[in-house]
Amino acid sequence: MSTIDWSRFVVRINVSAPVETLYRAWTTRNGMESWFVRLSEYRNKNGEEKDKDEQVVVGDTYKWLWHGYPDTSLEKGEILEANHKDLFKFSFGKAGICTVQIKVEDGEHIVELVQEQVPTDETGKQNFHVGCKTGWTFYLANLKSIVEGGIDLRNKNLHLKEMLNS
């Protein structure tokens, strides 16, 4: 009998950066494109595209495109919580709900991502629990790399397939 809770997972990483820097990395187009996706399009409730450094608010929507994947591989969702400090929550397509919290533990800043409401059928287990957890693990390491040292670890070559870093 499995003791894994397939409906959720948590990934965490310590990052030496101000909380505001880490929060903006999630909640602005420029922030997201610096470490996560090649395109982060945030739109307000009226459908108007937000400026590159404008922070998201509850009810905004997003469209994300990844390096290493064609434009047909995209994710759309809605911003569910954004406290403009240390909490950011968004729907993540069929894969569930993601909550990002920036915490302080033992004097260090911790970026914690919890993905919940992950479908628990076999497809959900493989694609969303295992697949998303693997992806978030890489991308949080890339966030740390970008913020602390400026090195982008993402694969940006569309011709290289099945890469850990795209």
Ranges of each domain in the chain: 9-149
The two structure tokens encoding residue 127: 């694609």
pTM metric for this prediction: 0.94
Instruction: Identify the DSSP state of 131.
Output: H
- The pLDDT confidence band at residue 9, using thresholds 50, 70 and 90, is very high
Regarding beta strands 74-82 and 108-116, do their DSSP bridges make them parallel or antiparallel, or are they unpaired? unpaired
Residue 117 three-state SS: coil
CATH architecture for segment(s) 9-149:
2-Layer Sandwich (3.30)
Inter-residue contact 163 to 135 (CB < 8 Å): no
Higher pLDDT, 1 or 124: 124
- pLDDT > 70? residue 63: yes
* Interior/surface letters 127-149, b for 16+ CB within 10 angstroms, e for the rest: ebbeebeebbbbbbbbbbbbbee
Number of alpha carbons in the 13 Å side-chain half-sphere of residue 65: 10
Handedness of CA 23, 27, 31, 35 (dihedral sign): positive
Q: Compute the mean pLDDT over every residue in the chain, rounded to the nearest whole number.
A: 96
Tens-digit pLDDT profile for residues 99-118: 999 999 999 999 999 999 99
Alpha helices per DSSP H over 44-130? 122-123
